[in-house]
Amino acid sequence: MKYVILLGDGMADYPVAALRGKTPLAVAHTPNMDKIATDGSLGLIETIPPGFQPGSDVANLTVLGYDPSRSYTGRGPLEAASLGIQLTDDDVAFRCNLVTLGSGPYPVMEDFTAGHISSEESRQIMIDLNAAIGSETFQFHPGVSYRHLVVWRKGEGSMKTVAPHDITGRAIEYFVPSGPGAGEIIALMEQGKKILSEHPVNNMRRSAGKRPANAIWLWGQGRAPRIIKLTDHYGIRGGVISAVDLLNGIGTYAGLEVIHVEGMTGYIDTNYRGKVLGALHALKDMDFVFLHVEAPDEMGHEGNLEGKIHAIEDFDRQVVGPVMDGLAYLGPFRIMVLSDHPTPLSIKTHAADPSPFAVLSSEVGENRTDGTAFSEEAARRTGLLFSPGYKLIAPFIRDWRSAIAKP
């Protein structure tokens, strides 16, 4: 049996007035996800437990079967695992965004992606930051695009921080780190601003009419978690394909092999075909592949309605369809397609509402066939809900027939 999870990050949404009260998922042309939903089993998964901030860290831990109340310590250490950074019990890892702040005494978070700065540009910035203000205490590590990491050796991790994508268009003075150790982090961020103000990369970006990465924003801190590998628990071999360090870090902790694909960007211009080919090639030897696409989430953060519909359709046409075609030649399979959390256009950030999922099995008797389309409303109508959501992965791998049995 081959097990495949295809995750369109942030695909779920709220009804949009411009779409006559429908969601982007409901209006997007998604024949492949619709087929999985109608021929397979459609329902909802609650990926954000009560009391947790909605985010891809908590949501994807849940999708892979981990109870966040036991396994989640912060976003930073998950990304550190993807970058191969070793953390001691005393170290704290922070997510470090390169961002664009407005000018004036009360600067606004203009862009939490610094205009989706390229990995080549941002790598040079992070190397220069580490050379200028890095130390035995603080180290700067380059990641992908605007997503990077800072490690505070023997640091403080209990302060309050805020994700920059939650404060787009708002004055940052109300959202800077607070609590134990916040002074050191704020000082580091201020030093970063001074260095970045006239950095050569930013001068070139301004000349080209692009937004500069004129500040760093530290958030999502935590210490190394203790997680039992999914591969050991189920006795399988698996891989993860994602452009995002967070997902690769979660996969690393879960025992999944990180499958590298050239041209992955974490945006709408990512190498979809390369991801599909990487997944199908891996499945010749592996039992399980988790393939993640970030583009719908980015469009949600931008509030880009047309872009989000387009990203969902690209995911369906360029990922779901080709993977389904390839699975037909690999023997028995179960495939799951889902959104990890909503990223509603109306709020431009994550929400905690349950998200739709659909599972199709090649085996007789393992499909409910009561879905009508892959959408939030269609999923609600089936009455199938996994809450807490971390309980979905076990039956998906072990006994799907029992999990979907109707009363």
CATH number at residue 271: 3.40.720.10
Task: Please give the mean pLDDT across all residues of the chain.
Answer: 97
Residues 182 and 101 in one domain: yes
Residue 21, pLDDT > 70, answer yes
- Of 222, 252, 267, which residue sits at a domain end? 222
What's the predicted TM-score (pTM) here? 0.90
Beta bridge partners of 101: 109
Residue range 338-351: mean pLDDT, rounded: 97
Residue range 75-85: mean pLDDT, rounded: 94
Residues 214 and 237 in one domain: no
* pLDDT interval class at 141 (50, 70, 90): very high
Give the Cα separation of 332 and 242 in Å (integer). Answer: 24
- Of 162, 192, 222, which residue sits at a domain end? 222
Residue range 242-265: mean pLDDT, rounded: 96
Residues 87 and 161 in one domain: yes
Whether 253 maps to a domain, the answer reads yes
Whether 88 maps to a domain, the answer reads yes
Residues 258 and 382 in one domain: yes
Whether 77 maps to a domain, the answer reads no
Residues 366 and 341 in one domain: yes
Q: Residue with structure tokens 């939030």?
A: 376
Asked whether 214 and 223 are in contact (CB, 8 A), the reply is no
Residues 270 and 337 in one domain: yes
Instruction: Classify residue 405 as exposed, middle or buried by CB count within 10 Å of its CB (0-12, 13-18, 19+).
Output: exposed
Whether 317 maps to a domain, the answer reads yes
Residue 279, pLDDT > 80, answer yes
Whether 215 maps to a domain, the answer reads yes
Please give the share of the chain, as a percent, with pLDDT higher than 70: 100
Give the Cα separation of 31 and 161 in Å (integer). Answer: 41
Residues 313 and 214 in one domain: no
What pLDDT, on a 0 to 100 scale, did the predictor assign at position 260?
Answer: 95
Give the Cα separation of 225 and 250 in Å (integer). Answer: 10
Query: Range of 92's domain?
Result: 82-222
Residue 105, pLDDT > 90, answer no
Structure tokens given for 92: 């704290």
Residues 242 and 365 in one domain: yes
pLDDT digits (tens, 9 = 90+) for 248-259: 999 999 999 999
Residue range 211-223: mean pLDDT, rounded: 97
Residue 104, pLDDT > 90, answer no
Residues 107 and 205 in one domain: yes
Residues 249 and 148 in one domain: no
Question: What stretches of 232-381 adopt beta strand conformation (E)?
Answer: 238-241, 257-258, 288-293, 333-338, 355-361
Displacement of CA 160 from its chain's centroid (Å): 21
Question: Is 197 strand, coil or helix?
Answer: coil
* 404 CB-near residues (< 8 Å, 6+ apart): 41, 359, 366, 367, 368, 384
Residue range 112-124: mean pLDDT, rounded: 97
Asked whether 259 and 306 are in contact (CB, 8 A), the reply is no
Asked whether 213 and 117 are in contact (CB, 8 A), the reply is yes
Residue 407, pLDDT > 80, answer no
Residues 308 and 340 in one domain: yes
What pLDDT, on a 0 to 100 scale, did the predictor assign at position 406?
Answer: 73
Residue 356, pLDDT > 80, answer yes
Q: Where are the alpha helices (DSSP H) in 143-196?
A: 182-196
Whether 55 maps to a domain, the answer reads yes
Whether 395 maps to a domain, the answer reads yes
Residue range 379-383: mean pLDDT, rounded: 97
Residues 239 and 381 in one domain: yes
Looking at the structure of the chain, the number of domains it has is 2
Whether 232 maps to a domain, the answer reads yes
Query: At residue 135, what are phi and psi to the nearest 5 degrees?
Result: -160, -175
What pLDDT, on a 0 to 100 scale, did the predictor assign at position 367?
Answer: 97
- Of 222, 246, 264, which residue sits at a domain end? 222
Beta bridge partners of 357: 43, 338
